[in-house]
Amino acid sequence: MKKIFIFVLIYLFAGGSVLAEQTQILPIVGAWKIIGYQIVGYPTMNEAKTKSWIGKVIEFTKQKTVTLYFDKTSQVCPKFTYQVTTENAKGYFLIGYEVKPHRFGITEEEIQLINVICKVKSWLGEHREFIKVSDEQILSYWDGVVFFFVKQSGNIIPLNKKGRAETLLITPQNVGMLNPASDFEKEILVEALPNYRVEKQTSMQTIKDSKRMMEHFEIYQQNKLILKVYPNPTTRKIASIRIFDNRALAPGNVKLGASYTDVFKNEEQLIDCQAGIEERGGQTLCSFKNMSSIQYVFKPKSNRGRAISPIEALNQAKLVEFVWKADTSLITETIETE
């Protein structure tokens, strides 16, 4: 599916506002690393080329230059112009991509669009549009593929693409480069999560109301457990991942340690919460109803014996874990209508 870019129509439908370049600082100054992607419709970019973009870094400067770093070389657009537009996220994605924004893990009502036009021929093509979701995340649509970028700090020269990224991005479809099509194999995890220790373990799991011993993988960084990966016993694909990594960034632009009200701050959001059972007793598992593949696990704070209401306890509870569940329907994007 080719992106339908009709700026005037999006502007009128989504209620966007264009900010003049002279009065608006470029909102994406800095370095951004490509750490994931999602296919939309029928891409013209083949799989090998799509994967080759992972690990590349793009740097925008205040002097209106943009550099693409890859391997040991770089390409530069020496001068660009840009236009910034504020858009309603739902209206923009429904018109431009015929999907709803939650398919990309976007919970924000508004997004910023930055249309970058290089004054000379460059890797940007005639122009390239970047979607700013938050101060830490942007997206960009290239030839049927939506690439996910995260903000970089420190030395901008990218690590080898097999090196450890600064952020582990969680979307409804992916955890980093892992998705519902990923095989439950150690080699797959080592490739997707390099420079980590991967160990196979067994544990008692409840499957269809019966308990059985099941294999799972545990991922460690410097002896700290950050992920537990579980299989689908029938397909031997990855079925679910428990995430304890402080690098993890989930929809809502949240990381571990956030409070319940930090995550679900919009009273109009549709939220589904349930009390934890068995080993999760005392915890609460919540999710956005339109992103059920990601659960946010909250643990109540200690109130030193002070009695508080259940609602107050939940509002103060801290995010201690993410649980991602594979949803095969997200592998191939389908058109969604109201």
Q: Kindly state the tokens that stand for 18.
A: 């264009």
- pTM for this structure? 0.81
- Tell me yes or no: is domain 186-330 CATH 2.60.460.10: yes
Q: Kindly state the tokens that stand for 299.
A: 């643990």
pLDDT score of 296: 97
**Alpha helix (H) residue ranges in the chain:** 7-14, 47-52, 89-96, 186-192, 260-263, 310-316
Pairing of strands 248-249, 168-169: parallel
Q: What is the C-alpha separation between 297 and 240, in angstroms, rounded?
A: 14
pLDDT score of 127: 84
Beta bridge partners of 230: 240
**For 279, which DSSP code?**
G
Q: Kindly state the tokens that stand for 310.
A: 């259940």
pLDDT score of 99: 83
Q: What angle do CA 60, 32, 290 make, to 5 degrees?
A: 125
- Give the number of other CB atoms < 10 A from CB of residue 163: 10
Who's near 118: CB < 8 A, 6+ residues apart?
66, 77, 79, 80, 124, 127
- CATH T-level topology, domain 7-162: Lipocalin (2.40.128)
pLDDT score of 218: 97
pLDDT score of 35: 84
**What is the domain partition of the chain in residue ranges?**
7-162, 186-330
Q: What is the C-alpha separation between 80 and 45, in angstroms, rounded?
A: 25
Residues of the chain with pLDDT under 70: 1-24, 154-166, 206-209, 267-268, 303-307, 331-338
Q: What is the C-alpha separation between 316 and 138, in angstroms, rounded?
A: 30
Q: What angle do CA 58, 62, 65 make, to 5 degrees?
A: 50
Q: What is the C-alpha separation between 171 and 181, in angstroms, rounded?
A: 15
pLDDT score of 336: 47
Q: Kindly state the tokens that stand for 290.
A: 């339109």
Q: What is the pLDDT of residues 211-270, one digit of tens each?
A: 778 899 999 988 999 999 999 989 999 999 999 999 899 998 899 999 999 998 776 678
